A and B are shown apart, each in its own frame.
Chain A
């Protein structure tokens, strides 16, 4: 099975700063890592490939430095990597990002399965994967916890859907969003890390796409924009108790409501 995994490079800590004027994220001052949700999506793809054979290709849209997460993915075992990068892609919202990814994917041999992470730790809208499926005219499955090959070119999926768990058969090709939080992604071996450092990375730019209209991409192609950021009003809290003031039985009574709450 030929599987494609979309990954994103994100700042290593979920707390970052916004450029006050443009409302876009200031990524430069934080170290960058593979989005943890995408790491698990990649692990899902790798396990499926290990089970049924085939290839895993990873693809990312980002600045040139994003090649680092592609190398990390190859070190984990991905077979090939694609960097989708162009100055014109910067500042894209979720829909513009999905459209860019879809155009890049259309320039590659069609995968049977596309796997995405549930959301990113920075933008965290969780909207890219569903939109990507729509742009590629493929069925979409969200919240996928487990994937099993099924007869007749189908996949058996277990999905987390809030209060319920769904088991369903999906036709291939399709797009899935992974929600396999209990899975631990494999740690790259040194050997794979060394070969990943030298691996070929395929590049895709705007000029490679079928739709080369720059107004469909990046900031220009984004229907949504941040117009203002603000701090929510400060709340004045109650006096903070120290550990020594209330522990054990006294704290238990406070928790269970057997004692009146301390006054401000």
Chain B
């Protein structure tokens, strides 16, 4: 069996290593365990000295780096990412499920005529060294296991619960900087600002999330007031975003935010696998649902079978005092 080659997209956030990249690097080495394998990384952008040092924590074979300056522009970054993957020619490429990662993955898969699996929550290898990609299968309570018959096998991976960083291994990988045009782009970025709702959610220590259990948009106002009184951020399930009641930055779940607050109160959320994949880091989960069979009541620390239209006013009254 020839050596298995896994490449990790070590995405940068500014000049720092994105948290999901660290998780992917850990994941890659876990997959490589007990096999003849090499793990490499692909970096786009301008890493700081601290980031370069951080990348020494993993025994990477080499790092291919395109020192592109400026904000993400899809045409330029996709071209460089594709060049990097072609240069590395791995069997498997792991990409974090971030706005940038998802764009790079779809472009690369199309250009290389290979398969891509989005929102993987679990990865493992078959005997033959093919990547088994697991993801929730639409809506309900099933998981699907997917195989890609072409190479490279591209997997877009959701961030999981944060793992503590490993100790440094001693050596540092070789950095390769291939020749490339680092500036040609037909896209001009004129402004970049923080999206206030989303940064509040992923860092929030207290969250109240609403779901389909509410009947109309106006009913969320009471919840908003409760959240303000308790110093909590307001969030929701995908259904609420689909109905247009709250903007996408409020969404928790597979195609939304991952959150890790001290406490999360869910109101009228049933708890699909998609939703649950966004709450793995929650310390205390209090769930209210009218349906005793709702999956969320099976995993909550405080599961309550009840009517949100009675519980929210009662909580509001207590909070106002």
Q: Which residues of A come within 8 Å of B, CB atoms?
A: 13-18, 23, 25, 36-37, 93-95, 98-99, 119, 121-135, 139-143, 156, 160-171, 179, 181-184, 222-232, 234-243, 246-249, 251-252, 254-257, 261-262
Question: How many residues in B have their beta carbons less than 8 Å from beta carbons of A?
Answer: 91
How far does the alpha carbon of A34 sit from the alpha carbon of B248 in the complex, in Å? 19
Contact (A179, B305) CB under 8 Å given A134-B111, A249-B318: no
How far does the alpha carbon of A232 sit from the alpha carbon of B144 in the complex, in Å? 10
- Beta-carbon contact of B187 and A139 below 8 Å: yes
Inside 8 A of B238's CB, which chain A residues have their CB? 14
Q: What's the A-B contact tally at a CB cutoff of 8 Å?
A: 267
Taking the nearest CB of chain A, how far is it from the CB of B313, in angstroms? 9
- Beta-carbon contact of B107 and A240 below 8 Å: no
- Beta-carbon contact of B292 and A130 below 8 Å: no
How far does the alpha carbon of A165 sit from the alpha carbon of B72 in the complex, in Å? 12
Nearest 9 interchain pairs by C-beta: A130-B106, A243-B306, A223-B115, A134-B110, A237-B298, A15-B139, A224-B115, A14-B139, A131-B110
Q: Which of A98, A160, A256 has the most CB of B within 10 A?
A: A256
- Beta-carbon contact of A251 and B311 below 8 Å: yes
A18-B137, A95-B109 known, 5 other contacts, Cβ within 8 Å: A16-B139, A139-B75, A165-B195, A232-B143, A252-B319
Inside 8 A of B247's CB, which chain A residues have their CB? 181-182
How far does the alpha carbon of A222 sit from the alpha carbon of B109 in the complex, in Å? 12
Contact (A134, B106) CB under 8 Å given A94-B116, A167-B191, A241-B304: yes
Inside 8 A of A23's CB, which chain B residues have their CB? 144
Q: Which residues of B come within 8 Å of A, CB atoms?
A: 71-75, 78, 98-100, 102-103, 105-107, 109-111, 113-119, 132-133, 137-150, 186-195, 198-199, 202, 230, 238-239, 241-242, 244, 247-249, 254-255, 262-263, 265, 272-273, 284, 286, 292, 297-307, 310-311, 314-315, 317-319, 321
How far does the alpha carbon of A135 sit from the alpha carbon of B107 in the complex, in Å? 9
Closest residue on chain A to residue B117 by CB atoms: A224
Q: Which of A15, A167, A255, A262 has the most CB of B within 10 A?
A: A255
How far does the alpha carbon of A46 sit from the alpha carbon of B163 in the complex, in Å? 46
15 contacts between A and B (CB under 8 A): A13-B139, A14-B272, A123-B138, A127-B116, A130-B110, A134-B78, A165-B194, A167-B189, A181-B242, A184-B244, A224-B149, A231-B143, A254-B302, A255-B315, A261-B302
- Beta-carbon contact of B138 and A122 below 8 Å: yes
Closest residue on chain A to residue B201 by CB atoms: A163
Taking the nearest CB of chain B, how far is it from the CB of A131, in angstroms? 4
How far does the alpha carbon of A16 sit from the alpha carbon of B272 in the complex, in Å? 12
- Which one of A122, A131, A240 lies within 8 Å of B305 (CB-CB)? A240
Contact (A126, B306) CB under 8 Å given A119-B255, A140-B74, A168-B188: no
Main secondary structure of the interface of B (DSSP, over half): mixed
Taking the nearest CB of chain B, how far is it from the CB of A228, in angstroms? 4
How far does the alpha carbon of A238 sit from the alpha carbon of B304 in the complex, in Å? 10
- Which one of A18, A164, A167 lies within 8 Å of B190 (CB-CB)? A167
Closest residue on chain A to residue B238 by CB atoms: A14
Contact (A243, B193) CB under 8 Å given A15-B139, A168-B73, A225-B149: no
How far does the alpha carbon of A14 sit from the alpha carbon of B190 in the complex, in Å? 38
- Beta-carbon contact of B186 and A181 below 8 Å: no
Closest residue on chain A to residue B251 by CB atoms: A181
- Which one of A13, A169, A227, A249 lies within 8 Å of B187 (CB-CB)? A169
How far does the alpha carbon of A222 sit from the alpha carbon of B149 in the complex, in Å? 9
How far does the alpha carbon of A133 sit from the alpha carbon of B238 in the complex, in Å? 26
- Which one of B118, B140, B186 lies within 8 Å of A126 (CB-CB)? B118
- Beta-carbon contact of A131 and B106 below 8 Å: yes
- Which one of B100, B116, B191 lies within 8 Å of A161 (CB-CB)? B100
- Beta-carbon contact of A15 and B305 below 8 Å: no
- Beta-carbon contact of A229 and B142 below 8 Å: yes
How far does the alpha carbon of A252 sit from the alpha carbon of B263 in the complex, in Å? 12
- Beta-carbon contact of B142 and A237 below 8 Å: no
Inside 8 A of A237's CB, which chain B residues have their CB? 297-300, 303
- Which one of B100, B146, B249 lies within 8 Å of A227 (CB-CB)? B146
- Beta-carbon contact of B302 and A241 below 8 Å: yes
Taking the nearest CB of chain B, how far is it from the CB of A128, in angstroms? 8
- Beta-carbon contact of B244 and A181 below 8 Å: yes
Taking the nearest CB of chain A, how far is it from the CB of B16, in angstroms? 13
Contact (A171, B186) CB under 8 Å given A95-B115, A243-B306, A257-B284: yes
Inside 8 A of A182's CB, which chain B residues have their CB? 244, 247
- Beta-carbon contact of A248 and B317 below 8 Å: yes
Contact (A230, B143) CB under 8 Å given A139-B186, A164-B194, A236-B298: yes
